[in-house]
C-alpha cells in the first residue's frame, strides 16, 4: 500500500521506509527555530539540562512577534536569545527580518519535502510549499535544538478534491473561510489535509500560504499542497540546487476523500469571536468600523499588498478610521518600496509598520481597545487575541475597501463619500457641574510609619516603570510602585496603609506620567516628603490631592526608617513621635490646600 504526502515526508526523515497513521516515530528536523515569544524558555530548558545544540546551521531564532521593540518584556526575551545565539554561533532573523515561517520559505530553510518546527503555532504554514511544519512547545523545541529530532505521531490524511473554477471575486482568504464555514473548527481535528485538483494547481505560492496558514484554525495538523512548477522553481532558487518533488502514491489510503465545488465559494467574512463563524459578506455590509488591519502570516505577502494598493490608490482612509499595514517580511516591505506601494499606502493615510506578526502576538501594531470594531486579514479573532474590541476577518481587498468606506463593504461597493462618525454626547444631559458637588473637609494632620529612602533623583521610571503605562485602573497601580528602584523592588509588598515616604532631592524627575503619583495613593501612602520634587511631578501630585511637602533638613529630629511621625500640612510641623522630637518644614500653599480640600483639581 502506498503512502500519503505526509507519510512520505515523515518516512523520509525517519529510520523507516514506510510509516502509517498512528505510528510514533522519531523524525529528523531540517530547520529548528524559536521565536522571541517562547525562545527564552527554550534557552532556559537547554541551560538547565546542560544540553548542547546538535547542529547550529539548522538552528535559528526569529524575532517576529515584537519587531518594533516597543515592549520591555519582549526586549528582555530578545536579549536572552541574542546572548545565547552569539555564544553558540546560531543565526538570528532579527527585528528587521519578518515572520519566521515566511523567512524559512524565502531563505530556503524550508522547502518541498523538508521538516521544520518552531514555537509558532502556525508553523504548518510550510505546507504551502509541500513541507512538514509544526508549532511546538518550548520543551519540544529545546529537544529539537539539542537532539536534531523529535518524536511525532503519524496523522491520518484526508484529501480534498477541488473541482470547477472559482469566481473572480473569490480570494484565497475566501477559499479558507468557505472551508471553515463547511468544516468548522474540529471536524478535521488532527488530520493532515491534502489539497488537490486543477483549481489548487493554479494557486500562486502567496495564495497557498494564505490557505495553509489557517490549518490551525480548522484544527488540522497541516494543510499540504503538492508543489507545482512555480513553487518548485521558487524554492530551488532559494535553496540553490535541484529538489526532489514528493507526491502521494496513487494507491495511498486516505481516511476520507471529499469533493469540493469551488465555483460555489463566495466572498466571506468571519464574525467576531471565531474564525469558523464565517458568513457571506453580503450579510455584514455597512457595519461601521473603527480600524482596519492588513498583514499577518495569512495575508502579508506581496500579492496581498498589491491588492490593497490597487484599491487604495488615489483614495483616502475614511475619517476617524485607522488603517494599519504590516508586510510579512522585509523582502515584501522592500518590494512595496520598489513598486511605489509605500507611497500609495501613506498617501491614503495608512500606518505602514516594519515587517512582523503584528496584532496576532499583541506585540506590534494591530491591537484594538474595548468597543472598537476592527476588520482584519489575520487568521484569528478570538476574544482578546487582537485586543479587547471586536474583530472581523476578511480578505485584503475587503479590508482595504472597508477602510475607505468606513464600514464593511467590497471593492465594487465603495461609496463616493465615506461614512463618518457622529458625536453621541448630549451636553444637555450633563446635569451636575463641579461646583454643585459637595466637598467634605479633609484632615490636615496625619500620622504614620516613615519610609526613609536616602536617595536623590529618583525618577518616574524608578517609581512606576514605563512597561506598566497601559494600566489605567488606579487600584492596579500600587503593586508596581518602586519595582524598578534598586533595593526597594518589594516596597509594594511591605508598605502599610498610612505610611509616609521620606526621600531626597528631585523626587519624580523624568516623565509626566500620572501613574507615578497615583501608585502611592493606591497603596494608601499618606504623604511624600522630599527636599525637592521634579516640576511636573509636583504639579501632578498637588492636582491629584496627593500630599507632598518639602524640607531643608531632618537632622535635628534624628529621623530614621520605621519611626512614627506626625505631619501637619497647614503649619509644616513635624513630630518624630518615636524620638519625641519636633521640626518645621514647608507647609501647603494656599492653592495646594484648596485643591487638597477639594479632593483634587476637578
According to the model, what pLDDT value does residue 367 have? 78
Helix axes 39-48, 72-88, angle to 10 degrees: 50
pLDDT in tens, 43-65: 999 999 999 999 999 999 998 88
d(CA 478, CA 497): 11
Tell me the pLDDT tens digit for each residue of 494-551: 999 999 999 999 999 988 889 999 999 999 999 999 999 998 999 999 999 999 999 9
User: Per-residue pLDDT averaged across 248-255, rounded?
Assistant: 95
**pLDDT at res. 3:** 97
How confident is the model over 392-414, as a mean pLDDT?
96
From residue 325, alpha-carbon distances to 211, 299, 358 in Å are 20, 10, 9
Using CA atoms, how far apart are residues 521 and 437, in angstroms rounded to an integer? 22
User: pLDDT tier at 439 (50, 70, 90 boundaries)?
Assistant: low
Q: What is the pLDDT of residue 596?
A: 96
d(CA 58, CA 588): 67
For residues 66 and 86, is the Cβ–Cβ distance under 8 A? no
Cα Dmax for the chain: 97
With residue 477 as reference, give the H or E element that holds it: helix 474-477
- The answer to whether 404 and 294 have CB atoms below 8 angstroms apart is no
d(CA 150, CA 27): 6
Residue 75 has pLDDT above 90, yes or no: no
In CATH terms, are 5-264 and 268-413 the same topology? yes
Q: State how beta strands 548-550 and 527-530 pair.
A: parallel
Percent of the chain with pLDDT over 70: 96
Q: What would the mean pLDDT of 247-259 be, rounded to a whole number?
A: 96
- Please give the helix or strand (H or E) that residue 548 lies within, else none: strand 548-550
What is the grid cell recorded at 113?
Answer: 519535502
Q: What confidence tier does 427 reach under pLDDT thresholds 50, 70, 90?
A: low
Radius of gyration for the alpha carbons in the chain, expressed in angstroms and rounded: 30
Contact between 258 and 168 (Cβ < 8 Å) = no
Strand boundaries in 247-321, DSSP class E: 256-261, 268-270, 278-280, 291-294
In this model, does residue 435 exceed pLDDT 60? no
More confident residue, 263 or 430: 263
pTM recorded for the entire structure: 0.82
Give Cα separations from 428 to 25, 270, 425, 433 (angstroms). 72, 40, 9, 12
Neighbours of 205 (CB within 10 A): 19
The per-residue b/e assignment along 46-71, b for 16 or more CB within 10 angstroms, e otherwise, is beeeeeebbeeebbbbbbbbbbeeeb
Average pLDDT for residues 191-215, to the nearest whole number?
Answer: 96
pLDDT at 581: 94
Determine the Cα–Cα distance for residues 557 and 572; give it in Å rounded to an integer.
14
CA distance 189 to 218: 7
Give residue 434's pLDDT: 47
More confident residue, 87 or 285: 87
Least confidently predicted of 80-94, 163-177, 413-427, 563-577: 413-427
Does domain 5-264 fall into CATH 2.20.25.90? no
Asked if residue 579 lies in contact with residue 450, where contact means CB atoms within 8 angstroms, the answer is no
Give the side-chain half-sphere CA count within 13 A for 49.
Answer: 15
Mean pLDDT of the chain: 92
Say how far apart CA 394 and CA 272 lie, in whole Å: 11
Query: Grid coordinates standing for 29?
Result: 528536523
Domain extents in the chain = 5-264, 268-413, 445-597
Q: What is the pLDDT of residue 211?
A: 96
Task: Extract the C-alpha cell encoding 439.
Answer: 466637598
pLDDT tens for 352-383 read 998 988 777 665 677 788 899 999 998 888 77
Q: Residue 429 has what pLDDT?
A: 62
Portion of the chain with pLDDT greater than 90, in percent = 79
More confident residue, 120 or 56: 56
In this structure, the number of other CB atoms found within 10 A of the CB of residue 79 comes to: 12
pLDDT band at 341; cut points 50, 70, 90? very high
- Taking each helix axis from N to C terminus, what angle separates 229-239 and 205-212, rounded to the nearest 10 degrees? 90
Pairing label, strands 500-502, 527-530: parallel
- pLDDT for the residue numbered 426: 63
- In sequence order, what are the beta bridge partners of 133? 116
pLDDT band, residue 285 (cuts 50/70/90): confident
Kindly give, in sequence order, each residue whose CB lies less than 8 Å from that of residue 426, ignoring residues fewer than 6 positions away: none
Does pLDDT of 478 surpass 80?
yes
3-state secondary structure 169-200: CCCHHHHHHHHHHHHCCCCCCCCEEEEECHHH
Q: Are 42 and 145 in contact (CB under 8 A)?
A: yes
DSSP string, 551-562: -S--GGGT--TT
Give the Cα separation of 276 and 430 in Å (integer): 44
* CATH architecture of the domain formed by 268-413: 2-Layer Sandwich (3.30)
Return the residue matching grid coordinates 454643585. Answer: 436
| Predicted local confidence at residue 438, as pLDDT | 61
Q: In the CATH scheme, what is the homologous superfamily, with its name and number, of domain 445-597? A: Aconitase, domain 4 (3.20.19.10)
The yes-or-no verdict on residue 205 having pLDDT over 80 is yes
* pLDDT-derived band at 437, boundaries 50, 70, 90: low
- Is the pLDDT at 469 greater than 60? The verdict is yes
Amino acid at each position: 500500500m502506498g503512502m500519503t504526502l505526509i507519510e512520505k515526508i515523515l518516512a523520509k526523515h525517519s529510520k523507516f521506509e514506510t510509516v502509517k497513521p498512528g505510528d510514533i516515530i522519531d523524525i529528523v528536523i531540517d530547520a529548528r527555530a524559536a521565536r522571541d515569544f517562547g525562545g527564552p524558555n527554550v534557552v532556559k530548558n537547554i541551560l538547565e539540562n546542560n544540553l548542547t545544540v546538535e547542529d547550529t546551521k539548522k538552528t535559528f531564532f526569529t524575532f517576529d512577534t515584537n519587531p518594533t521593540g516597543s515592549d520591555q518584556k519582549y526586549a528582555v526575551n530578545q536579549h536572552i536569545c541574542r546572548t545565547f545565539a552569539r555564544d553558540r554561533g546560531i543565526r538570528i532573523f532579527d527585528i528587521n527580518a519578518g515572520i519566521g515561517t515566511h523567512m524559512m520559505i524565502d531563505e530556503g530553510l524550508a522547502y518541498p519535502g523538508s521538516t521544520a518546527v518552531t514555537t509558532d503555532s502556525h508553523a504548518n504554514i510550510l505546507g504551502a510549499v509541500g513541507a512538514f511544519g509544526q508549532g511546538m512547545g518550548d520543551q519540544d523545541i529545546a529537544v529539537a535544538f539539542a537532539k536534531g529530532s523529535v518524536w511525532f505521531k503519524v496523522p491520518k490524511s484526508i484529501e480534498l478534491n477541488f473541482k470547477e473554477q472559482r469566481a473572480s471575486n473569490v480570494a484565497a482568504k475566501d477559499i479558507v473561510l468557505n472551508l471553515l464555514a463547511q468544516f468548522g473548527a474540529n471536524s478535521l481535528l488532527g488530520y493532515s489535509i491534502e489539497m488537490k485538483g486543477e483549481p489548487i494547481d493554479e494557486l500562486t505560492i502567496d495564495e497557498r500560504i494564505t490557505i495553509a496558514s489557517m490549518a490551525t484554525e480548522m484544527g488540522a495538523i497541516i494543510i499540504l499542497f503538492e508543489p507545482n512548477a512555480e513553487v518548485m522553481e521558487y524554492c530551488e532558487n532559494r535553496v540553490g540546487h535541484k529538489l526532489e518533488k514528493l507526491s502521494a502514491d496513487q494507491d495511498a489510503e486516505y481516511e476520507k476523500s471529499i469533493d469540493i465545488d469551488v465555483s460555489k465559494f463566495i466572498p466571506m467574512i468571519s464574525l467576531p469571536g471565531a474564525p469558523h463563524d464565517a458568513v457571506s459578506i453580503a450579510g455584514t455590509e455597512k457595519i461601521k468600523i473603527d480600524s482596519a488591519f492588513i498583514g499577518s502570516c495569512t495575508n502579508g505577502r506581496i500579492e496581498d499588498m498589491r491588492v490593497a494598493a490597487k484599491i487604495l490608490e488615489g483614495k483616502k482612509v475614511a475619517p476617524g478610521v485607522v488603517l494599519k499595514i504590516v508586510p510579512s517580511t522585509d523582502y515584501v516591505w522592500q518590494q512595496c518600496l520598489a513598486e511605489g506601494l509605500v507611497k500609495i499606502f501613506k498617501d491614503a493615510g495608512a500606518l505602514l509598520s516594519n515587517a512582523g506578526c503584528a496584532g496576532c502576538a499583541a506585540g506590534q501594531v494591530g491591537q484594538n481597545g474595548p468597543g472598537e470594531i476592527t476588520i482584519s486579514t489575520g487568521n484569528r479573532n478570538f476574544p482578546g487575541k487582537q485586543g479587547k474590541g471586536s474583530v472581523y476577518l476578511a480578505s485584503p481587498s475587503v479590508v482595504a475597501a472597508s477602510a475607505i468606506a468606513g464600514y464593511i463593504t467590497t471593492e465594487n461597493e465603495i461609496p463616493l463619500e465615506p461614512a463618518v462618525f457622529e458625536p453621541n454626547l448630549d451636553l444637555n444631559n450633563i446635569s451636575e457641574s463641579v461646583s454643585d458637588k459637595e466637598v467634605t473637609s479633609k484632615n490636615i494632620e496625619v500620622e504614620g510609619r516613615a519610609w526613609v529612602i536616602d536617595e536623590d533623583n529618583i525618577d518616574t521610571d524608578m517609581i512606576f516603570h514605563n512597561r506598566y503605562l497601559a494600566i489605567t485602573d488606579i487600584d492596579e497601580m500600587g503593586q508596581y510602585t518602586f519595582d524598578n528602584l534598586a533595593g526597594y523592588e518589594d516596597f509594594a509588598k511591605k508598605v502599610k496603609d498610612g505610611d509616609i515616604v521620606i526621600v531626597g532631592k528631585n523626587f519624580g524627575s523624568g516623565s509626566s506620567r500620572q501613574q507615578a503619583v497615583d501608585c502611592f495613593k493606591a497603596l494608601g501612602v499618606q504623604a511624600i516628603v522630599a527636599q525637592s520634587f521634579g516640576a511636573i511631578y509636583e504639579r501632578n501630585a498637588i492636582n491629584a490631592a496627593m500630599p507632598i511637602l518639602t524640607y531643608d533638613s531632618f537632622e535635628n529630629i534624628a529621623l530614621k526608617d520605621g519611626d512614627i511621625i506626625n505631619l501637619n500640612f497647614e503649619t509644616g510641623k513635624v513630630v518624630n513621635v518615636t524620638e519625641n522630637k519636633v521640626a518645621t518644614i514647608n507647609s501647603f500653599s494656599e492653592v495646594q490646600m484648596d485643591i487638597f480640600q477639594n479632593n483634587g483639581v476637578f
